[in-house]
Amino acid sequence: MRKPVVALWVVSLTLCLALQPLVAIKAQSANDLPDSDEFFQRNSRTGPERDHTRKIEDLLKRMTLEERVGQMTQLAIGMIVDGRDQDVKIDPAKLDKAIVKYGVGSILNVSDQALTLDTWHEIISQIQDMATKKTRLGIPVIYGIDSIHGANYVQGATLFPQEIGMAATFNPELMRRAAEITAIETRAAAIPWSFSPVLDLGRNPLWPRFWETFGEDPYLAKVMGVAFVRGLEGADVSSQSQVASSLKHYMGYSFPLTGRDRTPAWIPENYLREYFLPTFDAAVKAGARTIMINSGEINGVPGHVNRHILTDILRTELGFKGFVVSDWEDIKKLVTTWRIAADEKEATRLAIMAGIDMSMVPNDYSFADHLLALVKEGAVPQSRIDEAVRRILRVKFELGLFEKAMPNVSLKSKFALPEYRQVSLQAARESITLLKNANNILPLAKTTKVLVTGPTSDSLVSLNNGWTYVWQGSEEALYPKDRHTIRKAIEAKIGAGNVIFVQGTKITRAPGPSNSTPTDQEEEVDIPAAVRAAQNVDVIVLALGEGSYCETPGNITDLTIGEPQLRLAEALKATGKPIVLVLVEGRPRIINRIADNVNAVVMAYNPSNEGGTAIADVLFGDFNPSGKLPFTYPRTPNGLINYDHKPFETQNTAFGNMAFNPQFKFGEGLSYTTFAYSDLRLGKQMFSANEELPVSVTVKNTGNRAGQEAVLVYVRDLVASISPPNRRLRRFAKISLEPGQSRTLTFKLRRDDLSFISADNKPTVEPGEFEVNVGGLTQKFTLK
Ligand code: BGC
């Protein structure tokens, strides 16, 4: 049974609690704004760690080889339960085999659907009871789960916008708060470990996991990633309101040549380090306990056997102390997909010797059997096993599992609080990005008569996307009944009498080729009815985009938005009524055929269960939008160029009509007020790499509404030995300004902000001229 969600709205109190971080920002003096750098520096530090070495060594000494290998084994929950959906129950014989016979150290995920807190408590208490009381040494299991945008596998938990939307908020405080709530609600289910955040970069919009990322920029993703880790792990990860994080998917997973999931990437090491390493580097330094590995391959070497990446870089360079978990079945895939090993035993040897500490096997006992044999034969040294087991035990000790493995029923009182929902609503609102607003058609008056139409206009599935109650997020029946779709939220805001709803087209799930996992299929429903209805309204709210998908089932052959949706938009255009296009999508689907026909474009990403309300708040002016695009929105299917492209790509003379010309630019995002930037000043014109360079700029709210503005600071290296990008984001700060108010912000740039990875794969700073660019203003300086 579903646990009803308590919808208690104590508005003033909740607002006050939920907006605490934002209020805190406002309360600071103008010189003391927590810009991205201050936030980053503060959150990159971890407190003193408790030393568990003695306990670990004592335990390890007493463990048999079988028990050690067991700790390195992770099984899916399906291996220990019977029954489906909500009737899932522990099978005592299966559990005994896993925990007592094999000494399995970790179990993961949900069997089919999100479970209630009570069911989780039942399952986890049986697992931990067996592990702590029926095994020789009583080592607790570390249960892991994909809490991707909230505790999405726990019924009734608070869900947040997917990472791509969180990035658009440019508000790391909000990200950290969302992750704190995710940790509380995951721990409340007695689960101490989350497979998040995703720290891959969304630099190729074809990739079906694009929405799981913080977008294309390494700096923004790094700051947001650290916020996520600190929110999950907190100052004391053993506390009952924190969980261990798992950074994923280390590294380069998001940039396959074809854009398809789990296919080869070619990334030279200098670019790996320039673009794909910084998020992981920063999150490791912020104390992250575990890391999950890239399921794909780079330069012909599968992530799971890449010793250079897994050991030389991760351990020796970054100093990572936690443990490395494989991704799903990825040791087997070394044989079946990548064919770099003739059999699974050899694959196991390669992966373990490369640096995998725990194998997400997850559906049989092959890993433990092979690894045991390998150690007995001397093909894997016992020291390598001990190293992995020490790391796993350390995280178990740090999480406090040896003292508190059993569910704590009192944590229920910290679950699904109304104030959490308010944070989700605020995040959804701050993510929404206004990309076009011709003649200020938005905000709409609440007396407007509106036609609401389009496949995403009445769908919580689209608002959420994957990792929502089920892996693919696709089961509408599992969504809470009391949350508003866009249609319901608009009806609630302006009265059902002012709203006509016609679906127009729909996106459904149908089996893919050869009956594989279902994927989105689109069809027309009633376009003529939508056109007729349009005659009777003032404005059309046309909600287009995508259904839900996750990982490989989300692969597409064309980035263009579905043809039925384009036909709907074109038919509506012919009515002459103004159109407000709302995009609910996990990646930028091409809309150039209709973009000029619509009067406004509102990018909503996947804002989750409060997203309908947040969209209505923006459309009708109850919230002034402040989101900025965390990626480049391409105009054409082949125009996939990131904002930090090479300078020649903007020069029309060289590229003619092929020059960089996206539909919308990285960092774009309008407000209902206007901001004027002035007085961009640098502390010095000549500066040496060991100094700080102060950069100040004044931002004024020149409109007549209060608004928030994300101020983005870019740096451009004019000449460098690796051809320099057009510009790179180096700082940001989100501020609030009343009408007429202005504020001078001072950022400090350092050596790192001017460096790049040279041909010998090292961070390098080269003297010469640079430019700082903020809000369209530019200043030059010289590095001595
Ligand atoms: C995904 C991971 C996820 C794991 C466990 C894999 O297929 O790539 O991101 O954490 O499954 O669900």
**Mean pLDDT within 70-83:** 97
For 369-383, 517-531, 681-695, 716-730, which range has the lowest pLDDT when averaged over its residues? Answer: 517-531
Query: 499-502 and 450-453: which strand pairing?
Result: parallel
pLDDT of 2 over the 60 cut: no
Q: Is 257:267 a contact under the CB 8 Å cutoff?
A: no
pLDDT at 521 over 90: no
Q: State the catalytic residues.
A: 327
Q: Which ligand 1 atom is nearest residue 144's CA? A: 5
- pLDDT number for residue 512: 61
DSSP string, 662-731: -SB-TT--B-SS-EEEEEEEES-SEE-TTS-EEEEEEEEE-SSS-EEEEEEEEEEESS-SSPPPS-EEEE
pTM for the full predicted model: 0.95
- DSSP 3-state of 324: strand
For residue 433 and ligand 1, the question of a CB distance below 6 A is answered with no
Residue 25 pLDDT grade (very low, low, confident, very high; cuts 50, 70, 90): very low
The pLDDT, as a whole number, for residue 49 is: 80
Q: What is the mean pLDDT of residues 444-449?
A: 98
pLDDT, mean of residues 394-400: 98
Instruction: Answer whether 617 contacts ligand 1 (Cβ < 6 A).
Output: no
Yes or no: say if 679 and 756 are a contact pair by the CB < 8 Å rule: no
The span from the first CA to the last CA of the chain, in angstroms, equals 67
pLDDT at 594: 98
**Lowest-pLDDT choice from 40-49, 222-231, 415-424, 724-733:** 40-49
- pLDDT tens string 575-616: 999 999 999 999 999 999 999 999 999 999 999 999 999 999
Q: Ramachandran region of residue 648, left (φ > 0), alpha (ψ -120 to 50) or beta? A: alpha
Mean per-residue pLDDT, 715-720: 97
**pLDDT tops 80 at residue 1:** no
109 lines ligand 1 (CB under 6 A): yes
What is the CB neighbour count within 10 angstroms for residue 145?
A: 24
pLDDT at 5: 31
The answer to whether the beta carbons of residues 231 and 180 sit under 8 Å apart is yes
Tokens at 451, concatenated? 């036609």
Q: Is 326's C-beta closer than 6 angstroms to any atom of ligand 1? A: no
* pLDDT classification of 16: cutoffs 50, 70, 90: very low
Mean pLDDT throughout 442-447?
Answer: 98
Q: What is the pLDDT of residue 22?
A: 38
Does ligand 1 have an atom closer than 6 angstroms to the CB of 261? no
CA of 320 to the centre of ligand 1 (A): 21
Helix (H, G, I), strand (E, B), or coil: what is residue 112?
A: coil
Average pLDDT over residues 739-754: 96
- pLDDT higher than 50, residue 10: no
Q: Binning pLDDT at 50, 70 and 90, where does residue 648 land?
A: confident
The residues that bridge with 193 in the sheet, in sequence order, are 144, 244
SS percent in the chain: helix, strand, coil, step 5: 35, 20, 45
Going from the Cα of 500 to the center of ligand 1, the distance in angstroms, rounded, reads 41
Q: How far apart are CA 58 and CA 54, in angstroms?
A: 6
Percent of all residues in the chain with a pLDDT value above 90, rounded to a whole number: 89
The residue to mutate among 328, 360, 472, 549, having the most atoms of ligand 1 within 8 angstroms of its beta carbon, is 328
pLDDT of residue 654: 56
